[in-house]
Structure 1
Amino acid sequence: MNNTLDLLNLLEYIDPSILTYQEWVNVGMGLKQEGYTASDWDRWSTRDTKRYRNGECFTKWMSFQGSNSPVTGGTIYQMAVDGGYVPLRKDGHALDWDDEIKDDLVVVDQAWLEGQDIEEPNNWEPAKELIKYLEILFDSTENVGYVTATWEKDGKYLPTKGHWDRTSGQLIQELNQCNGDIGAVLGDYKEQAGAWIRFNPLDGIGCKNDNVVDFRYALVESDSMELDKQNAIIRELELPVACLVHSGKKSIHAIVRVDASNYDEYRKRVDYLYTVCKKNGLEIDQQNKNPSRLSRMPGIMRNGKKQFLIDTNIGKSNWNEWFEWIEGVNDDLPDPESLDSFFDDLPDLAPPLIHGILRQGHKMLMAGPSKAGKSYALIELCVAIAEGDKWMGWNCEQGKVMYVNLELDRASCLHRFKDVYTAMGVDPNNLKNIDIWNLRGKSVPMDKLAPKLIRRAHKKNYTAIIIDPIYKVITGDENSADQMAHFCNQFDRVCTDLGSAVIYCHHHSKGYQGGKRSMDRASGSGVFARDPDALIDLTELSLSDELVKHEKEKAAANYISLALQNLNQDYFEENVGLDDTLSRAQMLTHANRCLTRMQYIDLEKRLDKVMRLAGQKTAWRIEGTLREFAGFEPVNVWFDYPIHKIDDSGVLKDVMPEAEKPPWQKGVESRKPKEKKKEERQNKLEIAFANLEMDHNEITVNDLSQEMGVSNRTVWRRIKEHGGFDFIRTGDGKASIIYRKEEENTCDNN
């Protein structure tokens, strides 16, 4: 059996109610293979209240006869990991089933441990011992369970259920008046057997776990080592012991404060307590976990030996204080370092991943409004890292990248990657460097996702993990600084454990963004902007009608130029000048001269689409806040679906962001002539339709309504006003599919 990982602790991460029958059986087989008991399996199985059957585990247990390929504890370990269990080594890597935990939660150095002797009391007053025990553990109004009667089996005296009908106050009053005769109060007991008491208060109805009214204490008992060693370890561990009782034989009973609010919390705290004791050399009797357990009663004789109080109120004062202490001893935090030791021999900086922007193992946030193409930008970054290419003008080091897709269905995501590769003009030579983890509909909060991600990415040597988008995995209120700090710490965990950069995107806050710094535009707490090592922010630029017209003309001229080179290379080289390639009108004149009538008609049809798409391009300004590098001048880009392209011409340099238009400019625009407003309405319809074309095979009125932020009735009015769209009624009559009309082009070419 691998005894370095406690399978009973691992079971806390496995919910039996969601397992199949075979998975439930596998847990039982694994427990038996590793030397655990049917009771362990049965206790865990009770968590499945709907399917649990009393006695079923014990019957099934007997049928597990072993095999050549047995189910082992490794199966239980893997199920626990799938449930969120991620133990870490000191070096930050996740533990496997066969790894050994040597120093986690270890306080006691066994090599230097000296036993601590226990002195039997000389002037022993049994009734006072028991009174002191009751006063420490119980309130005067709480019912106490105790046993003095026994029955014999195989030469052993075993306790009966006993009594639970009197309160601590009643017992103390009677003990004060009994002249030292405990039997007169509790009933006579056999000295060969001794007597027992329950350390948690009961409801006065019974003595089972269900009758416990306050899960206040747990029993720590070990009968497999010397008494002085037991005593020493209990004290070294600073256990919050209320009463330490000598059993009258070969063990000490420590009544430890666990202060649990309910039974589930009690179980978890006792498991933790027992784990700490075991790792520190105190072998605990695992049968003592239940809160209604009997312990040895002080003030009683047992085979000529006293059951007596060794000590009271030792160690930490309560569970929380002890827990913080035991965790603090093993906090894994580094010790402070003297700068003098490293000033002349500094460690190497992490190498850059995106030159001038981000180092390997660091964090980057990309923020922007809706329709900025953030997802496409991150896919472009995946391609740039995988192929060692440029991203937004910055060189990227080649490496492996995992893209965590939380928003797109699998097919759409894969198509986007191919579309981006094609549009970037990059040869897909290193597709093996990109792994995609599709989690749409399966995402979990980041604190649960992080360990699952780490487990899957371990040993893959990713240079970057890209998470898109984070609103799908945010835990807590995004406007709460402390909750978002906890959320962002999960990215640190991924960076530290994998040595990978973590890159993620988030949306802008609602409302006016003008006047805000780039780092203050992301939605939610300012933690988002201040946590990453690099923040890349996209803001939309407000394009004038003249600039849009210029881009449409330029796109048309460029398209005609490429067409002529393809269809009539000789004419192009002899007759077309450089200035001509910048003018749509000039290029159409050349096309009219050198192309056939059919070629010209086909060119005009295609040209209309080219100009329409050019008019739908959006412009964006990239600004940044960097921790590791000097700042950079804003970068202007076009989002020309499906990729972003650097504005090499400089036409966007002086364009103002949409959100930063001065009030006077907005006022002028509000007074535009009716025809101008009509044109804008039509443009908005065109842009909305084009945006939906990116991800939809069929576009409905509802789709356009949501995209434009207007009612269905308004969409119908604008479709009618535009004149370039038509519709088809669907079979159910509940929706209409909108499509673009085919335009008939005429040509004067003879």
Structure 2
Amino acid sequence: MTENKFDILPLLDYIDPSSVDYSTWAEVGMALKHEGYSVNDWESWSAKDPERYHNGECDKKWNTFDGSASPVTGATITQLAKNSGWQPHSAEENDFIGWDDSFVATDIDKGYKIVNTDYVVGQEVKAPSNWNPAQEITEYLKTLFDPGDIIGYVNSGYEQKHGESVKWLPDKGVYTKTAGEIIDGLRRNKGDIGAVMGDPNSKCGAWIRFNPLDGKGVKNDNVIDFKYALVESDSMGIEQQNEILRKLELPIATLTYSGSRSLHAVIRVDAQNYPQYQERVDYLYKIVEKNGLRVDKQNKNPSRLTRLPGFERQEKKQFLIAKNIGKKSWEEWEEYVEDMNDNLPEMENMSDLFDKPIVLAPELISGILRQGHKMLISGPSKAGKSFSLIQLAIAIAEGWKWFGFNCHQGKVLYVNLELDDRSAKKRFVDIYNTIGRGHKNVSNIDVWNLRGKTSPMDKLAPKLIRRAEKADYKAVIIDPIYKVLTGDENNAHDMSLFVNQFDLIATELKCSVIYAHHHSKGSQGGKNSMDRSSGSGVFARDPDAILDLIELPVEEERYMQRVNQAICNVYDLAIKRFNPMYDEVGIDDRFSEKQMTHHLMAAMNKLPNGQQLLKQINEQRTLAVEAMRQATAWRLEGTLREFPKFKSVNAWFQYPIHVLDDTLQDIKLEEDPTAKWKKGTKKANQSRSEKAQQELEEAFNILSENGGAVDINAVADYLEIARKTVYGRVGKSDKFLVEDGTIRKK
């Protein structure tokens, strides 16, 4: 096998030779030979089926594999392994550790170093001075099994030759007797092992399966209780193995000398089922390998054999070294390991507190947020939270202001969990164009489009960190968080675990983490800004900065003023564009629709195509009026950990950006949702049905490309309502209809 070539030998562990037919068995051999492996590799795998395995058969067959125009390749083994549950791991997805992966070469876990192998000198393994085979077996069985447990043992085998060397492999053995029967038989027969367990073969020694069986076979499916796992390694001397195993404080039930180069440690895992067994063995092997012992991964299966003390093997005794050492249970040991490797910083003495100035993290958003800290933006549906986050990403990338606050320029990652990639790009383009200051530093923005491909935050965070660790981001913006929310939003414990992932990202990447969350139900006017977010109070306590958007009750008179000004602006720009020689517009005239209408007519009448231009200008006027009518007014308030409270900021959300407007400062919020001011607003005069139709139209216009159809699920996600509710709204609409799960205009 060439260096750096994908190693297919571990895949053979997924393929049970007893489950394949003769043809498939031969194809495995052909594939191994084609890929450059040896006959010994094929023979080792074949020997796992002792009922059909015959010594020497692989050698004979191997010599007939002389090549073919259509050879059987390693792909055959790969496919057989996939059919049995193996899954390939790409370089981008290796944060999930496979059942047969080795942990030594991975750097996923940075800690878990308990033993300094540089100082391991070894702990002597002493053979018993008065070796009593029957007593060894009895002590071993009493330690691992209950009297009624059915056990599987093997004390005979067959030779396997590898050149000049000979290896003894176990037969299928006995798997119908209980531990109690063996112990009682040894007692009644005064220690005569042959009379109870069959005559031993001193050349091969004896084996035992370390988990109880059902008495019907010796496969994983026959294991009835996942009590133990096996740790076996021959990567260093016996004494060094002994010292490391003990220093790890492993919950070792039995520690046995194998009669050869390794110790066999049977570890208490006490798993409830096979999946938990796999999980715990993965964890166990990871810790052991992190501390210097390269583990034989073939021993992962719960039905594997380990060496049974009380037997001789090649003139060496298999004996019990120790029992019930280390921690008492799996839970106690796991807690010990985690406590030893909590990655917490050391405690710091304050004796030099005044020796030098304290340099704080630089401000990412002046007066609001420092780099490496967390910020939450909360608000109700349709506050334009996502648009504000994109506007913030642009402000950081370009070094512009955001809601009037200066932003420190740098790279930013926008994690898009909701929009398809083209819609996300269009939002960035629309916001850039509306701001109208160019896009010189757009290369500072990275977007990670994960719609339909995301995972819970605890799984997403490590992937994000791995991909972004060399990018030097100043901020990571995650939008929206409900797509990656784990646990109950109203459960403080669940939400603490959830927001801890933001801490992990901020700490590992040394950047700010910014995300949005929605308001709780009910009136928000009488609440503090930190208390408006939905769900657990964790959202009010965890971020370093909480910015909250709350809608302002705007009177019709103020809407009319904005409409009037929009019309005046359209007319003024039209005059300057089409008839720049017309100079009769005074300063005060620019604030009067009546005066600007007069000037527009006068200016256009002097042009030969004036009437045609008036038609275009009126179309622009209609669009401007509609934009003003659809705009909503918002107040941004904040609760800050690092900075003093700032004066509230007022703005119109005028698609697709928030536009500051200090004149809104005089509007007061009302705690009572039935306050009188609502009678004078335009929205208060709308029925709930009319408002629902307006929201539907707004969602369609935002999500549609050039007026084309929009997927109904996208509309439901945008409005944060159920799919059936969208169907209901479309059914009442005179503008839209639904066809094949999409909404289009009539």
Q: Contact 2:156–2:205 (CA<8 Å) still a contact in 1?
A: no
Shift in CA distance, 256/355, structure 1 to aligned 2, threshold 3 Å: same
Write the distance in 2 (CA, Å) between the matches of 1:399 and 1:705.
33
Equivalent residue, structure 2, for 1:143: 150
Pairs within 5 Å for 1:300-315: 300-302=311-313, 305-315=316-326
The answer on 1:448 being equivalent to 2:459 is yes
Equivalent residue, structure 2, for 1:577: 586
Q: Which moved more, 1:699-708 or 1:329-338?
A: 699-708
Letter in 2 for 1:580: D
Query: Which one of the candidate residues 85, 99, 105 is aligned to 2:95?
Result: 85
Secondary structure at 1:348 match in 2:
coil
Per-residue displacement from partner, 1:638-691 (whole Å, max 9, x unpaired)? 11122111104x1x122234x734645279679x9xx99579987886675455
Query: Which one of the candidate residues 491, 496, 500 is aligned to 1:485?
Result: 496
Query: Which one of the candidate residues 648, 651, 659 is aligned to 1:645?
Result: 659
Per-residue displacement from partner, 1:232-283 (whole Å, max 9, x unpaired)? 2221121211112233454432222222333344344334434433443334
Letter in 2 for 1:633: K
Give how far 1:539 is off.
0.8
The answer on 1:60 being equivalent to 2:31 is yes
Give the aligned CA root-mean-square deviation in angstroms: 4.1
Write the distance in 2 (CA, Å) between the matches of 1:404 and 1:578.
46
The answer on 1:329 being equivalent to 2:343 is no
Give how far 1:294 is off.
2.7
Secondary structure at 1:204 match in 2:
coil
Q: TM-score, normalised to structure 1's length?
A: 0.80
Q: Contact 2:693–2:729 (CA<8 Å) still a contact in 1?
A: no
Equivalent residue, structure 2, for 1:396: 407
The answer on 1:518 being equivalent to 2:488 is no
Equivalent residue, structure 2, for 1:589: 598
Q: Which moved more, 1:122-131 or 1:487-496?
A: 122-131
Q: Contact 1:467–1:502 (CA<8 Å) still a contact in 2?
A: yes
Q: Contact 2:229–2:302 (CA<8 Å) still a contact in 1?
A: yes
Shift in CA distance, 57/333, structure 1 to aligned 2, threshold 3 Å: farther
The answer on 1:382 being equivalent to 2:382 is no
Q: Contact 1:258–1:318 (CA<8 Å) still a contact in 2?
A: yes
Query: Which one of the candidate residues 633, 637, 662 is aligned to 1:619?
Result: 633
Q: Contact 2:555–2:680 (CA<8 Å) still a contact in 1?
A: no
Q: Contact 1:682–1:718 (CA<8 Å) still a contact in 2?
A: no
Write the distance in 2 (CA, Å) between the matches of 1:289 and 1:702.
48
Equivalent residue, structure 2, for 1:496: 507
Query: Which one of the candidate residues 43, 50, 53 is aligned to 2:13?
Result: 43
Write the distance in 2 (CA, Å) between the matches of 1:229 and 1:676.
80
Shift in CA distance, 712/338, structure 1 to aligned 2, threshold 3 Å: closer
Write the distance in 2 (CA, Å) between the matches of 1:31 and 1:55.
26
Give how far 1:455 is off.
2.9
Q: Contact 1:244–1:253 (CA<8 Å) still a contact in 2?
A: yes
Query: Which one of the candidate residues 560, 563, 567 is aligned to 1:552?
Result: 563
Per-residue displacement from partner, 1:68-98 (whole Å, max 9, x unpaired)? xx99xxxx999344335189xxxxxxxx998
Shift in CA distance, 554/679, structure 1 to aligned 2, threshold 3 Å: farther
Write the distance in 2 (CA, Å) between the matches of 1:192 and 1:679.
92
Shift in CA distance, 202/694, structure 1 to aligned 2, threshold 3 Å: closer
Equivalent residue, structure 1, for 2:420: 409
Per-residue displacement from partner, 1:557-583 (whole Å, max 9, x unpaired)? 2332333333444543xx433222222
Per-residue displacement from partner, 1:332-380 (whole Å, max 9, x unpaired)? 2211111223343354211111111111122211111121111221121
Write the distance in 2 (CA, Å) between the matches of 1:493 and 1:302.
52
Give how far 1:391 is off.
0.7
Q: TM-score, normalised to structure 2's length?
A: 0.80
Letter in 2 for 1:277: V
Secondary structure at 1:339 match in 2:
coil
Shift in CA distance, 233/690, structure 1 to aligned 2, threshold 3 Å: closer
Pairs within 5 Å for 1:114-153: 114-153=121-160
Q: Which moved more, 1:200-209 or 1:592-601?
A: 592-601
Q: Contact 2:310–2:318 (CA<8 Å) still a contact in 1?
A: yes
Unpaired segments ≥5 residues, structure 2? 38-73, 76-85, 98-102
Secondary structure at 1:320 match in 2:
helix
Q: Percent identity?
A: 47
Q: Contact 1:350–1:359 (CA<8 Å) still a contact in 2?
A: yes
Write the distance in 1 (CA, Å) between the matches of 2:423 and 2:449.
11
Q: Contact 2:159–2:169 (CA<8 Å) still a contact in 1?
A: yes
Shift in CA distance, 133/32, structure 1 to aligned 2, threshold 3 Å: farther
Letter in 2 for 1:355: S
Write the distance in 1 (CA, Å) between the matches of 2:665 and 2:516.
25
Shift in CA distance, 656/687, structure 1 to aligned 2, threshold 3 Å: farther
Q: Which moved more, 1:167-176 or 1:563-572?
A: 563-572
Per-residue displacement from partner, 1:101-126 (whole Å, max 9, x unpaired)? 99843322233223322333334443
Letter in 2 for 1:511: G
Equivalent residue, structure 2, for 1:3: none
Write the distance in 2 (CA, Å) between the matches of 1:680 and 1:265.
52
Equivalent residue, structure 2, for 1:631: 645
Equivalent residue, structure 2, for 1:543: 554
Secondary structure at 2:226 match in 1:
coil
Q: Which moved more, 1:320-329 or 1:299-308?
A: 299-308
Q: Contact 2:710–2:742 (CA<8 Å) still a contact in 1?
A: no
Equivalent residue, structure 2, for 1:17: none
Q: How many residues align?
A: 677
Shift in CA distance, 59/260, structure 1 to aligned 2, threshold 3 Å: farther
Shift in CA distance, 700/541, structure 1 to aligned 2, threshold 3 Å: farther
Write the distance in 2 (CA, Å) between the matches of 1:146 and 1:117.
29
Give how far 1:45 is off.
6.1
Q: Which moved more, 1:306-315 or 1:76-85?
A: 76-85
Shift in CA distance, 354/162, structure 1 to aligned 2, threshold 3 Å: same
The answer on 1:339 being equivalent to 2:350 is yes
Q: Contact 1:375–1:468 (CA<8 Å) still a contact in 2?
A: yes
Q: Contact 1:240–1:322 (CA<8 Å) still a contact in 2?
A: yes
The answer on 1:112 being equivalent to 2:119 is yes
Equivalent residue, structure 2, for 1:199: 210
Give how far 1:385 is off.
1.3
Give how far 1:420 is off.
0.9
Q: Contact 2:204–2:313 (CA<8 Å) still a contact in 1?
A: yes
Give how far 1:551 is off.
1.5
Q: Contact 1:637–1:646 (CA<8 Å) still a contact in 2?
A: yes
Write the distance in 2 (CA, Å) between the matches of 1:730 and 1:249.
74
Letter in 1 for 2:640: L
Write the distance in 2 (CA, Å) between the matches of 1:503 and 1:384.
14
Q: Contact 1:220–1:288 (CA<8 Å) still a contact in 2?
A: yes
Equivalent residue, structure 2, for 1:5: none
Secondary structure at 1:356 match in 2:
coil
Secondary structure at 1:62 match in 2:
helix
Unpaired segments ≥5 residues, structure 1? 1-28, 88-95, 720-726, 739-750
Shift in CA distance, 312/713, structure 1 to aligned 2, threshold 3 Å: closer
Write the distance in 2 (CA, Å) between the matches of 1:701 and 1:65.
55
Write the distance in 1 (CA, Å) between the matches of 2:594 and 2:436.
29
Secondary structure at 2:124 match in 1:
coil
Write the distance in 2 (CA, Å) between the matches of 1:329 and 1:204.
41
Q: Contact 1:447–1:490 (CA<8 Å) still a contact in 2?
A: yes
Query: Which one of the candidate residues 437, 441, 448 is aligned to 1:430?
Result: 441
